[in-house]
Amino acid sequence: MYVTDKAEIVIDASSEDIWEYVTDPVHWTASNPEEHYGLEYDTPDNRPREGATFHQAEEVAGMYADLHGRFQYIDHQVAVWAGTAYYPLLRGLVTVRIPEGGTIRLEETEDGTRMSHAVWMDFPNNRRGRALKWVFTTALGGKAKLYDHTNRELVFFKDRIESAAPEKSKPLGASS
């Protein structure tokens, strides 16, 4: 039983510049400081690559999660990841495991590069899973918070990347 969402934004930068920035685990963690607590890639240079695993501590909809994942596919336009998020409930007496994943895309447009992140959570199709999905989507407002979480990351990347870009030169004769 899936809960899915997708956020996207256009960034005035090349896909290569965006990729270089967003794959830095320090920048990814900073993209959502109230909900990201750290990200590590299990690679020598601490950068993602196809087949590499990663660990991220985060919150979604007010629920702490310990996410362990793997990059299933990566090129400089698309990154597909999947993993299991471990949600400790009742002060850690019970841990719920939820498969999660996402696809990050960078697509060149006339206005810049569209960056999107489509994410999913797969709640078990049994009584417990239906109850957990209900709590997440209804009691916690998780569907909207999942979008907010993902969109906050993209807005951060846009703001940081565009503010760091050198100012574009004006044509000769243009007034200030």
Please give, one letter per residue, the 3-state secondary structure of the chain: CEEEEEEEEEECCCHHHHHHHHCCHHHHHHCCCCCEEEEEECCCCCCCCCCCEEEEEEEECCEEEEEEEEEEEECCCEEEEEEEEEEEEHHHCEEEEEEEEEEEEEEEECCEEEEEEEEEEECCCCHHHHHHHHHHHHHCCHHHHHHHHHHHHHHHHHHHHHHHCCCCCCCCCCCC
Q: For the whole model, what pTM was predicted?
A: 0.88
What are 128's two structure tokens?
Answer: 């417990």
- In this prediction, residue 92 has a pLDDT band, given cuts at 50, 70 and 90, of confident
Report domain 2-163's class. Answer: alpha beta
**pLDDT tens digits, one per residue of 130-145:** 999 999 999 999 999 9
pLDDT at 173 over 80: no
Whether 19 shows a pLDDT value over 70: the answer reads yes
What integer is the mean pLDDT of 76-85? 96
Calculate the average pLDDT of the chain. 93
